[in-house]
Amino acid sequence: MATVTTGAATPEVLEEHWSETPGLGSFLTTVDHKRIGKRYLYTGLLFLVIGGVESLVMRIQLTHSNLHVVDPETYNQLFTMHGVTMMFLFATPVLSGFGNYLVPLMIGARDMAFPRLNAFGYWVFLGAGAFFYSSFVVHRLPDAGWFNYTPLSDSVYSPGPNVDFYALGLIFVGISTTAGSINFIVTILKMRAPGMSLNRMPIFVWGELAMALTVIFALPALTLANVLLELERRAGFHFFAAAGGGQPLLWQHLFWIFGHPEVYLVVLPALGIASAIIPTMCRRPMIGYTYIVLAEMAIALIGFGVWVHHMFAVGLPSMGLGFISLTSFLVVIPSGVQIFAWLATLWAGKPILKTPMLFVLGFIVLFVIGGLSGPMLAAIPLDQQVTDSYFVVAHFHYVLVGGAMFPIFAGIYFWAPKMTGRLLHEGWGKVSFWLMFVGFNALFFPMHILGLRGEPRRTYTYQAGLGWDFLNLVETIGAFVLALGILITFVNWVWSAKRGEPAGHDPWRGESLEWATTSPPAEYNFENIPTVRSREPMWDQPELGPHGQPAEAGGRGLGGGHNTLVTSLLEAEPEVVAPMPHESPWPLLLTVALLGIFLGLVVRSWVFWSVAAVAAVIATAGWFWPRGETQET
């Protein structure tokens, strides 16, 4: 091929190397980060609907005192699976989905560093979701709460398989999250387009990086806790039960060493979404870029030192509590820095109030409300009053739904046009936003008041005459208004994907590289991998167009093969032209084998899981078996 000698690339040649033959085959074997990213998004949003419907049933049950819509056991399963679904199957995967789709585009790469591992991550997430909900078929959904405290969750007080589904399911989904995070880190550190030194990297990418690093050091605690729990439940080991010399609090420590970083790793990429939209809609660079980046890293870091604030009421000595209280107060500072940087940018920039911007503004308002109840909970005596009451439920829905779901919706309005090539409808977008905003506040604001009035969380009903009925009614109404708002966006999205206004490659006049691709982007993303000379390349480098950058201006075609560019860690100088792996069935097959292992464990069939384990070994060998395409060594 002539191209090999010059290094130039043409769409035809790239097409030949990169296109995946349509059909079922490539559906099951794809390694394209854009297809995988969209799958994460759609599957995660499906779980939002499932978790959301669970919460609506809870809301109906709580509309009034002494209702019997569901029995206590069902209610316990509902809130447990609502929490688990929303945290592990909705928020984290959807944000990974945005990351998967956008990170390679934003940093000017042709795929993620480990495309097959990427596919594997998705399949495992899907498999784990299926595993969790297979418990529904046998009516044994997990029922000990999303933090599953022992001894309630041990084999004495939870003899059924419910908790096994919880523990094994979390170990399973953890494989996906860990694989995804390793992939993000390597991609971000080693695949940035030439010239995109770390200090030119989009803040959204920083957010994904902070999230991934947090996963690496936080998730092992959850996995370990669940492995120990299963050993105790199934094999008679002693870790948590006081009887055999164990400590119930060991579980709580391990869970929250993971759990607190977990809530920040949900919010970090969401903050990144806001930081991507604000400058675009203000038509000016972010004021305080460096401060925001440092703040995100500080949040991730300090987040590892606050876990005991979930345990202020367990009776620990007040010395240690004081220290944790201090770190919990301090983590507010980087959050505030972000808020004030956004405010400065908004003030200087006169934002254009299109739907994505509305969702971002709504997010800031809600996140500040939710954030402000944070230090109240960090104040030990106050927390000892309101912990485990609806006040805490209000706090975390403001930061989670306000702080993560609203940015996700902003992201949908902002980037769906990139994915489908068509804009969502503005008018319906605004209707959806206002319904969601009003419904949200009606749903969650009263929870502060109810918490202060003494309503404990995780109660399937409450007594009359306590002054709790009216506000609970308001909340339930709010929940349905919120659901309607969400529904409108979904319909809007589906409708616009076919009939919306064509978006063009850069509908918002964004500043980062994802807008230097066609909408939707070609399979290889960029014809020529651009050279970046600014923090806002799309604004400062007029030569960047829908196909990347012409070779004369610095673009690299890499010979048009199935290659991507490896660059150096800090300054992103080109180092290696790495051939990338093609479609592969093994990630899916390995996932099926893993699913078999976990199902075998839960039904306690020794034969079942050993057969699956052998299958898993075979699948791993198949995966790594040299095929000559990436010069495996």
Partner 1 sequence: MRCRRGPLAPGARTLPAVAVALTVGGCGGKTSVVSPKGPAARSVVGLWWPMLATATAVFVFVVGMLVLAAVRGRRKTEDDAAVTPGWGEPFIVVAGVVVSGAILVGFFLFSLQKVQALTDAGRRSKLTVSVVGHDWWWEVRYPNGAVSANEIHIPAGVRVRLALDTADVIHSFWVPPLGPKIDMIPGQHNTLWLQAGEPGVYRGQCAEFCGLQHANMIIRVVADAPADFDAWMAREAQPADDAATGGPGRPVFETQSCAGCHTVRGTAAAGTVGPDLTHFGRRDTLGAGVRPRTDGDLARWITDPQSIKPGAAMPPTTLSPADLRALVAFLEGLR
Partner 2 sequence: MALTGEAPLLVPTGQPDERLPTVGTGTTNFGWWGMVLFIAVEATVFALLLASYFYLRFRSGPVWPPDGIEDPKLKLVLIMTAVLWSSSLPVHLAHAAIKKGDTKKLRAFLAAGFVLGATFLALQVAKEYPDIARHEFTPRTDAYGSMFFTITGLHGAHVFVGLLMSAWVQLRAWQGAFDRYRHVSVQNFVLYWHFVDVVWFFVLLTLYLSPHL
Helix axes 390-397, 426-452, angle to 10 degrees: 160
577-581: long-range contacts (C-beta < 8 A, 24 or more apart)?
578/630, 579/629, 579/630, 579/631, 580/110, 580/111, 580/115, 580/630, 581/31, 581/115, 581/116, 581/627, 581/629, 581/630
Q: How far is the CB of 221 from partner 2 (least distance, A)?
A: 5
Partner whose footprint covers residue 453, from ligand HEA, Cu ion, partner 1, none (CB < 5 to 8 Å by kind): partner 1
Of 448-467, binders to ligand HEA (CB under 6 A) are 457-458
Closest CB to partner 1 among residues 463, 610: 463
What string marks each residue from 81 to 110 as x (binds ligand HEA by CB under 6 A) or -? -xx--xx--xx-------------------
| Binder of partner 1 out of 284, 505, 535, 547 (CB under 8 A) | 284
Q: How far is the CB of 295 from partner 1 (least distance, A)?
A: 8
Spatial separation of the C-alpha atoms in residues 184 and 210, rounded to whole Å: 10
| Binder of partner 2 out of 24, 137, 235, 319 (CB under 8 A) | 235
Per CB under 6 A, the segment of 14-22, 45-53, 127-135, 514-522 that binds ligand HEA is 45-53
Closest CB to Cu ion among residues 304, 428: 304
The helix (run of H) or strand (run of E) holding residue 575 is strand 574-579
| Binder of partner 2 out of 220, 285, 546, 585 (CB under 8 A) | 220
In Å, what is the CA distance from 407 to each residue of 95, 276, 353, 544?
10, 10, 15, 28
Residue 566, interface with partner 2 (CB under 8 A)? yes
Give Cβ neighbours of residue 422 (< 8 Å, ≥ 6 apart). 496, 497, 498, 499, 500, 501, 502, 503
What string marks each residue from 233 to 262 as x (binds Cu ion by CB under 5 A) or -? ---------------------------x--
What string marks each residue from 453 to 482 as x (binds partner 1 by CB under 8 A) or -? xx-xxxxxxxx-xxxx--------------
Strands 574-579 and 563-567: what pairing? antiparallel
| Binder of ligand HEA out of 182, 368, 577, 611 (CB under 6 A) | 368
Spatial separation of the C-alpha atoms in residues 74 and 461, rounded to whole Å: 12
Spatial separation of the C-alpha atoms in residues 312 and 322, rounded to whole Å: 10
Per CB under 6 A, the segment of 185-193, 262-270, 582-590, 613-621 that binds ligand HEA is 262-270
Of 486-545, binders to ligand HEA (CB under 6 A) are 486-487
Q: What's the number of CA atoms in the CB half-sphere (13 Å) around residue 380? A: 19
Q: Which amino acid is at 129?
A: G
Of 131-190, binders to partner 2 (CB under 8 A) are 178, 181-182, 185-186, 189-190
Beta-bridge mates of residue 563 = 579
Return the residue matching tokens 């069902």. Answer: 74
DSSP state of 245: T
Of 316-335, binders to ligand HEA (CB under 6 A) are 328, 331-332, 335
Residue 588, interface with ligand HEA (CB under 6 A)? no
In Å, what is the CA distance from 194 to each residue of 191, 198, 531, 556?
9, 11, 5, 9
Residue 632, interface with partner 2 (CB under 8 A)? yes
Closest CB to partner 2 among residues 5, 21: 5
Nearest to 363, CA basis, from 406, 320, 324 = 406
Q: Which two tokens stand for residue 2?
A: 């002539």
DSSP state of 312: T
Residue 333, interface with partner 1 (CB under 8 A)? yes
Partner whose footprint covers residue 244, from partner 1, partner 2, Cu ion, none (CB < 5 to 8 Å by kind): partner 2
Per CB under 6 A, the segment of 399-407, 560-568, 595-603, 618-626 that binds ligand HEA is 399-407
Please give the distance of CA 220 from its chain centroid, rounded to a whole number.
Answer: 17
Q: How far is the CB of 373 from partner 1 (least distance, A)?
A: 8
Give Cβ neighbours of residue 26 (< 8 Å, ≥ 6 apart). 20, 583
Residue 371, interface with ligand HEA (CB under 6 A)? yes
Per CB under 8 A, the segment of 41-49, 224-232, 378-386, 554-562 that binds partner 1 is 378-386
Chain residues that interact with ligand HEA, rule: CB under 6 A? 48-49, 52-53, 55-56, 58-59, 79-80, 82-83, 86-87, 90-91, 145-146, 263, 266-267, 309-310, 328, 331-332, 335-336, 339, 368, 371-372, 374-375, 377-378, 383, 387, 392-393, 395-397, 399-401, 403-405, 443, 457-458, 479, 482-483, 486-487
